[in-house]
Amino acid sequence: MFKAVLLEESDGKISAGIQDLDEARLPGLEAAVTVAVEYSTLNYKDGMILNGIGRLVRTYPHVPGVDFAGVVETSNHPDYKPGDRVVSTGWRVGEMTWGGFAQKARVKGDWLVPLPEGLTNKRAMALGTAGITAMMAVMALEEHGVSPVRSAQEGGEVLVTGAAGGVGSVAVTLLAKLGYKVAASTGRQEAHDYLRGLGAATIVERAELAEISKRPLARERWAGCVDSVGGTTLAHVLTETAHGGSVAAVGLAGGNALETTVLPFLLRGVNLLGIDSVMCPQARRRAAWARLVEDLPMEKLDAITETAALGDLLTLGQKILKGQIRGRLVIDVNA
Ligand code: NDP
């Protein structure tokens, strides 16, 4: 038996509770690996799933948790053997199949990556989906010519929106470490010192960017942007992105509609780069993990991480949807 957060549906309503489950209930999958989970983590998408928002889960009962890290117990996959430390992010684990808010998980071996050298399982989860997404966003900006040197020469800062959240906190830390001048946008007054501590040079009020721009092009402020908010914020940022600059669109915490014009693209050559860490190919995923180990100061990662237990998840799942979780929240499934 193992403990898990189990979501059940009745008359269209989702209820959640911690239950003891028999291992026979884990999904039967091809080339599967069964993992004794040590840590999981809370992402924005988990908040949606725990609260039955967005129809991300189609089949109940369901065990949520889009990320987990642990130790292989049994394996039908040639790359993994009992005792190996492994990490799972993406591939719709925790949505289409059972996930990591549990003491055991079973997934296809092809979805796993070995625990990256230099990380512990706990730090891998402090990074998790938010961490590799932030890294992939930075890689996409770099691939489109955004660099600390160019940004310094041309005077544009790199903006991070939703900066006090999970993706945002890792992105601010990474960009500052890589030598960018970082502007961090937040709606939380109390997060200003936190963001400066991560390396942000400038704080931008969330409300300033959330207004719909009256003009299709405004003063060029940003050499690049990692945007986890979407909606009117993304539309606003596009009007202020400098010539040849790039915006990595990561999330939709502020809405999924996008009302913009073609002018930032036609007259300023702005690139709008979509980031998908869920179905992203394994080679790029592993490259992102390796870059995180190389580029992210681990003491800063520890400083943005808090730990909670499985039993805290239901409250925390509501808090993340309200933008009330700061940094990264690791779930110790055995606590
Ligand atoms: P968090 O909740 O940790 O962070 C989101 C942040 O956005 C909040 O902390 C808050 O920042 C800001 N925010 C929240 N609500 C609003 C609002 N209504 N208007 C403006 N800003 C708001 O979530 P994550 O960092 O885990 O995820 C961020 C987004 O990225 C989510 O939409 C998520 O689904 C998406 N995502 C996408 C991935 C991909 O592969 N594309 C992978 C991972 C996440 P502050 O308080 O600083 O203002």
Binned at pLDDT 50, 70 and 90, residue 156 comes out as confident
Contact between 249 and 237 (Cβ < 8 Å): no
Would 146 be classed as within a structural domain?
yes
Would 299 be classed as within a structural domain?
no
Q: How far apart are the first and last CA of the chain?
A: 16
Residue with CA closest to ligand 1 atom 10: 162
User: Do 193 and 309 reside in the same domain of the chain?
Assistant: no
Contact between 185 and 205 (Cβ < 8 Å): yes
User: Do 173 and 66 reside in the same domain of the chain?
Assistant: no
CATH number at residue 232: 3.40.50.720
| pLDDT tens per residue, range 280-316 | 999 999 999 999 999 999 999 999 999 999 999 999 9
| Full domain range(s) for residue 97 | 2-115+304-332
Would 288 be classed as within a structural domain?
no
| Final residue belonging to a domain, choices 274, 289, 318 | 274
Please report where in the chains the tokens 């009962």 appear, as a residue: 61
Question: How many domains does the chain fold into?
Answer: 2
User: Do 16 and 102 reside in the same domain of the chain?
Assistant: yes
User: Do 192 and 68 reside in the same domain of the chain?
Assistant: no
Would 279 be classed as within a structural domain?
no
What pLDDT is recorded for position 183?
Answer: 97
Number of helices (H) and strands (E), helices first, in the chain?
11, 15
User: Do 133 and 196 reside in the same domain of the chain?
Assistant: yes
User: Do 60 and 161 reside in the same domain of the chain?
Assistant: no
User: Do 107 and 25 reside in the same domain of the chain?
Assistant: yes
User: Do 245 and 158 reside in the same domain of the chain?
Assistant: yes
Would 55 be classed as within a structural domain?
yes
Cβ 195 under 6 angstroms from ligand 1:
no
Compute CA distances 32 → 17, 28, 73, 88, whole Å. 26, 8, 11, 13
| pLDDT tens per residue, range 170-205 | 999 999 999 999 999 999 999 999 999 999 999 999
Would 45 be classed as within a structural domain?
yes
CATH number at residue 12: 3.90.180.10
What pLDDT is recorded for position 213?
Answer: 80
Cβ 231 under 6 angstroms from ligand 1:
no
Residue 276 has pLDDT above 90, yes or no: yes
What is the 253 CA–ligand 1 centroid distance (Å)? 4
Q: Which of 79, 108, 109, 112 is nearest to 96 (CA)?
A: 108
Would 328 be classed as within a structural domain?
yes
Cβ 165 under 6 angstroms from ligand 1:
yes
Binned at pLDDT 50, 70 and 90, residue 155 comes out as confident
- Tokens (6 digits) for 110: 């092809």
Helix (H) or strand (E) holding 266: helix 263-268
Residue 154 phi/psi, 5-degree rounding, is -95, 0
Q: Which amino acid is at 219?
A: R
Beta partners for 129?
A: none
Strands 85-89 vs 67-75: parallel, antiparallel or unpaired: antiparallel
User: Do 102 and 155 reside in the same domain of the chain?
Assistant: no
User: Do 183 and 216 reside in the same domain of the chain?
Assistant: yes
Taking the whole predicted model, whether its pTM rises above 0.85 is answered as yes
What is the 228 CA–ligand 1 centroid distance (Å)? 5
How far apart are the C-alpha atoms of 41 and 35, rounded to whole Å?
A: 16
User: Do 133 and 266 reside in the same domain of the chain?
Assistant: yes
Would 296 be classed as within a structural domain?
no
User: Do 87 and 164 reside in the same domain of the chain?
Assistant: no
